[in-house]
């Protein structure tokens, strides 16, 4: 989803883009990655590749989540260094922050407390990605003119999302549930958890624009707004809402008239994850798509793809 949005944006800006499908390039194999980099004229890398999923997937496949994400980012970042590629943007996740972090969450709160257990393996891998970028900058930044950057987005939704029943994130999961309930005349929809936890959402098109903005901002400005041991920048909408409010919003957009039942036996995850986005706003970026409009567009695309498949 994120990679496709960045690809489309770079295409609009007439960049020469080099990509490969999984079947042609195994990012878990460092030799394959190095050979690919050596054979292609690459000067910038956007690392959007990752193994991702919701609460169920993180709980069910912890070994895969930590191993695959560590390997992907390690192979890409180290191979970039070995092959003389100077500019890298690593895209992480807001789950890197402590479960009981102060709100809104500033970049400097990283590693200040315990992680949420349901996605700890994924979060540890993403923290490692940030620290890889910082460490290569610290050790080789001056000698090799490296410029490795990181952004940490809040929850992303929109075009190209994953609608798999158990492995999807909350917005695609709710869209699919409410749509199915409407089409089959069900009287209720079950939602995991209490509905009281709060989440922040950003449309993937806005994230792509933020990634491009951060990748291309003057190095002096990037360094001025980060530090050698805290080199990442938060990206978000700066607003959050409860899962209950989100469910009601999606219910209304889809036109489902039944009841919402919250299953409190299912995990909630972190109570709140609102990012402090003052750094990137001060640098000159802010999101353009509000949540209601973004959800409407996402549902339109979901229906189109569902009918065409």
Active centre residues (catalytic): 122
DSSP 43: S
Per DSSP, the three-state class of 233 is strand
Name residue, tokens 């092959």. Answer: 83
| DSSP code, position 226 | S
The answer to whether the CB of 160 falls within 8 A of the CB of 5 is: yes
Give one DSSP letter per residue of 260-291, joined into a string.
EEEETTS----SB--B--HHHHHHT------H
CA geometry: angle 46, 27, 23, nearest 5 deg: 110
Q: How far apart are CA 223 and CA 143, in angstroms?
A: 17
């Amino acid at each position: 989803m994120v990679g496709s949005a960045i690809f489309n944006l770079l295409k609009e800006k007439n960049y020469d883009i080099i990509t490969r499908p999984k079947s042609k390039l195994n990012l878990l194999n460092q030799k394959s990655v190095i050979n690919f980099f050596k054979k292609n004229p690459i000067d910038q890398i956007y690392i959007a590749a990752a193994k991702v999923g919701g609460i169920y997937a993180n709980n069910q496949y912890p070994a895969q989540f930590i191993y695959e994400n560590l390997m992907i980012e390690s192979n890409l970042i180290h191979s970039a260094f070995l092959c003389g590629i100077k500019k890298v943007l690593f895209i992480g996740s807001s789950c890197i922050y402590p479960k009981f972090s102060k709100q809104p969450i500033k970049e400097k709160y990283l590693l200040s407390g315990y992680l949420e257990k349901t996605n700890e393996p994924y979060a540890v891998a993403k923290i490692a990605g940030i620290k890889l970028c910082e460490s290569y900058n610290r050790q080789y930044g001056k000698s090799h003119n490296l410029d490795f950057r990181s952004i940490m987005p809040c929850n992303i939704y929109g075009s190209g999302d994953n609608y798999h029943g158990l492995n999807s994130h909350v917005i695609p999961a709710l869209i699919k549930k409410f749509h199915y309930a409407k089409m089959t005349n069900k009287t209720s929809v079950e939602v995991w958890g209490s509905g009281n936890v709060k989440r922040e959402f950003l449309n993937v098109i806005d994230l792509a624009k933020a990634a491009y903005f951060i990748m291309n901002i003057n190095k002096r400005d990037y360094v001025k707004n980060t530090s050698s041991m805290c080199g990442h920048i938060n990206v978000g909408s700066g607003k959050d809402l409860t899962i209950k409010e989100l469910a009601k919003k999606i219910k209304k957009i889809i036109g489902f008239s039944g009841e919402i039942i919250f299953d409190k036996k299912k995990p909630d995850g972190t109570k709140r994850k609102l990012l402090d986005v003052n750094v990137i706003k001060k640098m000159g970026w802010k999101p353009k798509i509000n949540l209601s409009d973004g959800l409407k567009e996402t549902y339109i695309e979901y229906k189109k793809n569902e009918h065409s498949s």
